Amino acid sequence: MIKSNIKLLVLSFLLLISLKPLQSAEMVDPIKVEWSFKGLTGTFDRASLQRGFQVYKEVCASCHSMQYLSYRNLGEPGGPEFSEIEVKAIAASFEIEDGPDDQGEMFTRPGKPSDKFKNPYPNVKAAIAANGGAYPPDMSVLVKARKGGANYIYSVLVGYEDPPPGVTLDDGVYYNKYMIGNKIKMPNNLSDGLVEYSDGTESTVDQMAKDVTTFLAWAAEPELEERHRTGVKVIIYLILLTILVYLSMKKIWSRIDSEI
Amino acid sequence: MSEHEYTPKSKAGKWFNDRLPLLTLGAHLTDYPTPKNLNYWWTFGGILTFCLITQIVTGIVLAMHYVAHADLAFASVEHIMRDVNYGWLIRYIHSNGASMFFLAVYIHIFRSLFYGSYKSPREVIWIIGLMIYLLMMAAAFMGYVLPWGQMSFWGATVITNLFSAIPLVGDSITTWLWGAYSVDNPTLNRFFSLHYLIPFLILGLVVLHIWALHVPGNNNPVGIDIKKPSKDTVPFHPYITIKDAFALLVFMIIFAGFVFFTPNVLGHSDNYIPANPLVTPAHIVPEWYLLPFYAILRSVPDKLGGVILMFSAIFILFVLPWLDTSKVRSAVFRPIYRQFFWILVIDVLMLGYVGAMPAEGIYLVLARVGTIYYFLHFIVVMPVVGYLEKTDPIPMSISEPVLTGGAEPSLARKINDKV
Amino acid sequence: MSKEEKKVNRRDFLFTASYTVGAVGVGAVIWPMIDQMNPDKAQQALATTEVDISNIEPGKSITVLWRGKPVFLKRRTPEEIAEARAVNMDDLPDPQKDEDRVKEGKDEWLVMLGVCTHLGCVPLKDKGDFNGWFCPCHGSHYDVSGRIRKGPAPTNMEIPKFEFVDSNTIKIG
C-alpha cells in the first residue's frame, strides 16, 4: 500500500515539474557547450585558460574588474598554471598603487604576484559614469552569479544580432539574443582575429568566447579541480565504509533474528 | 527505561559516579531498550544530530574567517573560498549542510505524522521538536543573510517587512529589527550574533527532546505500547547505533554528492552578486525549505492576512496532538487517514513547487488550493477521520510482524489469537 | 578450527575493519578543520619584503615590518664589527661567530628579527651592558651582533632568510 502511494506521489510531482516551461516564454535557453570542466572528473583546459586570460587582459579588463583575484592565482595549481616567472612578468606589467610611503604619499610601483588584479576604475561610481550608466559587473564570480553559468556567458558573447523588426534601441544599447530582456549595454567587443594567440590558435569569435568563458569559470571556482578530485575519493571511501557497516549490521542483527 | 541500578566496576569510576552520575547516564543510553521493529525512517533522529554537530563545527570555523560588516562580508566569503586552507570545503559543507538538515527534519516530521509519534504520551517531545524546527528556520534565514549577496539583502528585507504588517507598531518593530532605516550594517551584525547563538539553543532543546523521548520510550511502526525491556526491544547499542550508522553513511554519500559536485545547485545564483540596495532581483525566492510557507504567504491577497496565515501554518502543528482524535497511533492501521496523509505530502510538495514560481496564473490558483487543503487537513480531516474511521485490528506485540517482515494486520490477528 | 570459531573470526574482522576505516575517515575530516587555522594563501604570498637601505648611515639602524614582526637592519661601523668579533666564544650562552650572522662581504649589515628569544618582546636599541640591545620585559642583554649575553633569553636573536637584490636593496623572506 505504502509503495503504491509513493509511486503516485512521484508521478504527480513529475507532472507538476513538467509544467515548468510555462514560466520562461520570453527567454531563449543558452547554447549548451561541452565544457571540459563539466562532469564528476572535469578539469580545466590549461591552454584555453591561458588564452582566456589573454582575452580578458586585452579585451575585458579595460572595463571589468576582477577584484577577488590576485596575480599569484594565475600560477596556482588547478588554474592557468603560468610559470612563476610568467606570473611575475604579468604582475609587473601592471602599475599598482601602493603607500603611503614614509612621506605619507601614495605612489605606484610595478605589480607583485601578491597584488590583487588591478581595477580599471577607482570605484563603482566611476565605472558607472564611464559606461553610460551601466556598471560593468565585477567578473570574479560572474559565472556563479548568472543562471545558466558558463553556457550563459558564452551565449551572450556570441549572441549579438540585429534587432528584430519592431524593436527600437536607444543609443548605447545593443540587441543580444541570449541576454535577459535582450537589451545589453555592452557592445560586441569580439571580432575575428582581435587578439593574437601565442600558441597559434586561430582567434575566431567563437574561440575567444570559449576561452574567456573557461577563464571566467575558473576564476569563479578556482577550487573546482581539487573539489572534483577530493569528491571522487570521498565518495569511494564512503561507499566502502557503508558496505563494511552494512555487513557489520547484518552480523549484529542476526543474533536477534536467530533468537526468535 | 531499565530499572536496574548501574554500578561502575572500577573504584575510581564509582567515586566519580557517586558525585556526577555520568557513567550511569552512559549506561542508560547504551542499554536503552528500543523497539526492535524500528524501520529506516527512524534513523533520521541520529542523522539530525549529525547535521547539527556538523553545522556547529563548520560554523565555528567559518566565523574565524568571516567579517560581519556590510562592506567586507561578501569579500570575506570570497576570501574563505579562495585563500583559507580548505575554506571552500568547509563553506560548502555548511551551506549545503543547511539544506541537508532541513531535508532530514522534514522526513523526521512526516515520519512522526505517519506513525502518530506526536500523540499521547509524546506531546511534549513533539512540541519541543517544533520549537527546534522554528529555531532552525530562524538560524537558516539569518545565515543566508551573512554572505551579503543580493538574495541575502532582499530576503532579509522581505522577511523583516513581514513584521510591518502588524497594526500600529509594525513599522517601529521593523525599524527596531533593522537598527537602521533599511536592512543595513547594524542588521547584518545582529543577525551574525543571533546566527551564532541559535544553534546552541537548538542543542539545548535537542537534549530536552531526547530526555523527553526517553521517558515514554520510542514509538514504533506498529504504534503500540510495549513492555521495556522485553522480547520486543533491543538495547540501543549496538543494534540501533549500527543501524543509525549505516543510514547516516548513505545520507553522507548524498550530502557529499552535493558538496563536491553541485555545491551551488540548492542556492541561488543572484547571491553571488554583492548586495545592492538600489536594485531588486527580478525573482526573489527563499531557500527551498521555506518555499511551502512562502506559497501560503503569497496565496493571500492581503498583507496582514498572508502573514497571519503563514505563521498559523506552523503554529497549528503545536495543537496537533489534540486535533487528532484517533485512538490508534500508526497510520499502518488507519486505512482512511493513510490516504489523507499522502495527500498532505503531495500538497506540501506542490506548495513548495509553486512557491518557487511567479505568483500569477495557474500557480496562484494552485497555491490557494494547496493552502486551503493544508488547513483543512489539520482542522477538519484529522478530528473527523479520527472519529469515523474503522481502524484495522492492532497486534498486542511486535515480535511476530517483525519476523514476517511487515506489520500485516491479518498475521497480527493470528498472533493475538495465540496470545 | 571449528565452524564456531571461524564465524567469530569473521565477525571480529568485520568490526575491526569498520572501526579502522571509520577512524581513517574521522582523521581525514579533522585535518581540514585544523589546517584552516594555518596562514592562508594570501598570508603566505606576503612572505617577502623588499627594503631600500641606501639612506642608512654607518652606526644607524632602521626597523621594518616583515610578517607582522619587526626586523632590525643595522649598518655597523668598523669599530662595532671589531668589537663583535673580539668576543671570546666561551663568554656566550649561545656561541655563534659574528661572521656566521652576516653575509660575507657585507659585514657591516646586520639583519635580524627584532624579537627577544625569551618571550617575544621587542628589545630597545643602544641599551644594555653590551652596546647592543636590551629587552625591557625581563632584562635580556644582547651585544652588537644581536647575541644573548645576559638575562633569561635562551638564544641569540634570529637571522631571517634575506638576500641583497642589489647594493641598495635587501629582500627579506
Distance of CA B140 to the CA centre of its chain: 11
Confidence of residue B412 (pLDDT cuts 50, 70, 90): very low
Total structural domains within chain A: 2
Which has the closest alpha carbon to A76: A226, A258, A231, A253?
Answer: A226
| Chain C residues within an 8 Å CB radius of B90 | 32-33, 36
Alpha-carbon distance values, B178 to A154, B136, B173, B175, B183 (Å)? 40, 21, 9, 5, 5
| pLDDT of the residue at B255 | 98
Per the model's pLDDT, the better-predicted residue between C170 and B76 turns out to be B76
Q: Which residues pair with C169 in a beta bridge?
A: C52, C166
The domain made up of B28-273 has a fold known as Cytochrome Bc1 Complex; Chain C (1.20.810)
| pLDDT of the residue at A102 | 75
Q: How far apart (Å, rounded) are the C-alpha atoms in residues A138 and A135? A: 9
Q: Is residue A86 part of a domain?
A: no
B400 pLDDT more than 80: no
Q: Is residue A165 part of a domain?
A: yes
pLDDT per residue as tens digits for the range B91-119? 999 999 999 999 999 999 999 999 999 99
A245 inside 8 A of chain B by CB:
yes
Confidence of residue A4 (pLDDT cuts 50, 70, 90): low
One domain for residues A198 and A169: yes
| pLDDT of the residue at B258 | 97
Q: Is residue A121 part of a domain?
A: yes
What is the average pLDDT across B7-24?
A: 93
| pLDDT of the residue at A95 | 93
Cell of C50: 623588499
C108 pLDDT more than 80: yes
One domain for residues A154 and A59: yes
| pLDDT of the residue at A2 | 53
One domain for residues A160 and A125: yes
B289 pLDDT more than 80: yes
One domain for residues A139 and A47: yes
The alpha carbon of residue B260 is apart from the nearest alpha carbon of chain C, in Å, by 14
CA-based nearest residue in chain A for residue C14: A248
C153: Cα within 13 Å, side-chain hemisphere: 31
Alpha-carbon distance values, C145 to A136, B71, C54, C109, C118 (Å)? 56, 47, 21, 10, 17
Which of C7, C8, C21 would you mutate first to test chain A, the one with the most A CBs within 10 A?
C21
What is the average pLDDT across A175-189?
A: 90
The alpha carbon of residue B386 is apart from the nearest alpha carbon of chain A, in Å, by 20
| Chain A residues within an 8 Å CB radius of C45 | 70, 72, 113-114
CA-based nearest residue in chain B for residue A67: B75
Which has the closest alpha carbon to A149: B149, B269, B92, B357?
Answer: B269
Cell of A95: 602599475
The alpha carbon of residue A60 is apart from the nearest alpha carbon of chain C, in Å, by 25
B28 pLDDT more than 50: yes
What is the average pLDDT across B122-144?
A: 97
What part of B 140-179 touches C (C-beta under 8 Å)?
none
What is the average pLDDT across A127-139?
A: 92
| pLDDT of the residue at A12 | 61
Q: List the single range of A114-123, B247-256, C161-170 with lowest mean pLDDT.
A: C161-170
A1 pLDDT more than 60: no
Cell of B225: 505500547
A16 pLDDT more than 60: no
| pLDDT of the residue at A11 | 63
| Chain A residues within an 8 Å CB radius of C22 | 241, 245
| pLDDT of the residue at B284 | 87
What is the average pLDDT across B361-373?
A: 95
Which of A103, A115, A241 would you mutate first to test chain C, the one with the most C CBs within 10 A?
A241
| pLDDT of the residue at B396 | 84
Percent of chain B with pLDDT over 70: 94
Q: How far apart (Å, rounded) are the C-alpha atoms in residues A212 and A190? A: 11
Q: Is residue A205 part of a domain?
A: yes
| pLDDT of the residue at B2 | 43
CATH number at residue A133: 1.10.760.10
**ipTM, 2 decimals?**
0.90
Per the model's pLDDT, the better-predicted residue between A179 and B406 turns out to be A179
What is the average pLDDT across C24-42?
A: 93
Per the model's pLDDT, the better-predicted residue between B417 and C126 turns out to be C126
| pLDDT of the residue at A6 | 61
One domain for residues A212 and A239: no
Which has the closest alpha carbon to B100: B227, B288, B276, B282?
Answer: B288
pLDDT per residue as tens digits for the range B220-251? 999 999 888 888 899 999 999 999 999 999 99
Helices B150-161 and B185-214 cross at an angle (nearest 10°) of 70
Q: How far apart (Å, rounded) are the C-alpha atoms in residues B49 and A248? A: 22
A105 pLDDT more than 70: yes
Confidence of residue B365 (pLDDT cuts 50, 70, 90): very high
Cα three-residue angle B144-B359-A11, rounded to 5 degrees: 85
Q: Is residue A133 part of a domain?
A: yes
Q: Which residues pair with C124 in a beta bridge?
A: C134
Cα three-residue angle A181-A187-A190, rounded to 5 degrees: 115
Percent of chain B with pLDDT over 90: 88
* Nearest CB neighbour to A245, from listed C18, C24, C42: C18
What is the average pLDDT across A194-206?
A: 94
Size of interface A-B (CB pairs under 8 A): 109
The alpha carbon of residue C17 is apart from the nearest alpha carbon of chain A, in Å, by 7
Q: Is residue A256 part of a domain?
A: yes
Please give the mean pLDDT across all residues of chain B. 92
The alpha carbon of residue B173 is apart from the nearest alpha carbon of chain A, in Å, by 33
Q: What homologous superfamily is domain B285-388 in, according to CATH?
A: plastocyanin oxidoreductase (1.10.287.980)
| pLDDT of the residue at C159 | 93
CB burial of residue B310 (10 Å; 0-12, 13-18, 19+): buried
| pLDDT of the residue at B229 | 84
Per the model's pLDDT, the better-predicted residue between B97 and B358 turns out to be B97
What is the average pLDDT across B146-156?
A: 96
pLDDT per residue as tens digits for the range A59-74? 999 999 999 999 999 9
| pLDDT of the residue at B122 | 97
Alpha-carbon distance values, B78 to A87, A140, A225, B7, B42 (Å)? 22, 9, 17, 54, 39
CB contact under 8 Å between A241 and C41, yes or no, is no
Q: Is residue A100 part of a domain?
A: no
* Nearest CB neighbour to A234, from listed B79, B256, B358: B256
Confidence of residue B406 (pLDDT cuts 50, 70, 90): very low
Domain definitions of chain B by residue range: 28-273, 285-388
B319 pLDDT more than 60: yes
Catalytic residue positions of C, numbered: 138
What part of C 1-60 touches B (C-beta under 8 Å)?
32-33, 35-38, 40-43
Range of the domain at A139: 19-69+116-222
Q: Are strands A95-98 and A107-110 parallel, antiparallel or unpaired?
A: antiparallel
Q: Which chains touch A (3 or more CB pairs under 8 A)?
A: B, C
pLDDT per residue as tens digits for the range C49-102? 888 888 888 988 899 988 889 999 999 999 999 999 998 888 899 999 998 999
Confidence of residue B11 (pLDDT cuts 50, 70, 90): very high
CB B260 within 8 A of CB A234: yes
One domain for residues A185 and A137: yes
The alpha carbon of residue C43 is apart from the nearest alpha carbon of chain A, in Å, by 9
Per the model's pLDDT, the better-predicted residue between B145 and B399 turns out to be B145
CB B385 within 8 A of CB B337: yes
CA-based nearest residue in chain B for residue C25: B249
| pLDDT of the residue at C59 | 87
CB B97 within 8 A of CB A88: no
Cell of A255: 543474533
| pLDDT of the residue at A24 | 45
B135 inside 8 A of chain C by CB:
no
Please give the mean pLDDT across all residues of chain A. 89
Q: How far apart (Å, rounded) are the C-alpha atoms in residues B413 and B4? A: 34
B401 pLDDT more than 60: no
Q: Which residues does A contribute to its contact with C (CB < 8 Å)?
A: 70, 72, 76, 113-114, 237-238, 240-241, 244-245, 247-248, 251
Q: Are strands C140-143 and C148-150 parallel, antiparallel or unpaired?
A: antiparallel
One domain for residues A145 and A211: yes
C99 inside 8 A of chain B by CB:
no
CB A176 within 8 A of CB A187: no
Q: Which residues pair with A108 in a beta bridge?
A: A97
What is the average pLDDT across C129-137?
A: 91
CB contact under 8 Å between B353 and A16, yes or no, is yes
Per the model's pLDDT, the better-predicted residue between A27 and B275 turns out to be B275
One domain for residues A165 and A203: yes
One domain for residues A179 and A245: no
B259 inside 8 A of chain C by CB:
no
Peptide bond into B121 cis (omega under 30): yes
CB contact under 8 Å between A251 and C14, yes or no, is yes
CA-based nearest residue in chain B for residue A15: B350
B133 pLDDT more than 80: yes
Q: Residue B228 — φ and ψ, nearest 5°? A: -130, 135
| pLDDT of the residue at A13 | 60
Q: Is residue A181 part of a domain?
A: yes
C25 inside 8 A of chain A by CB:
yes
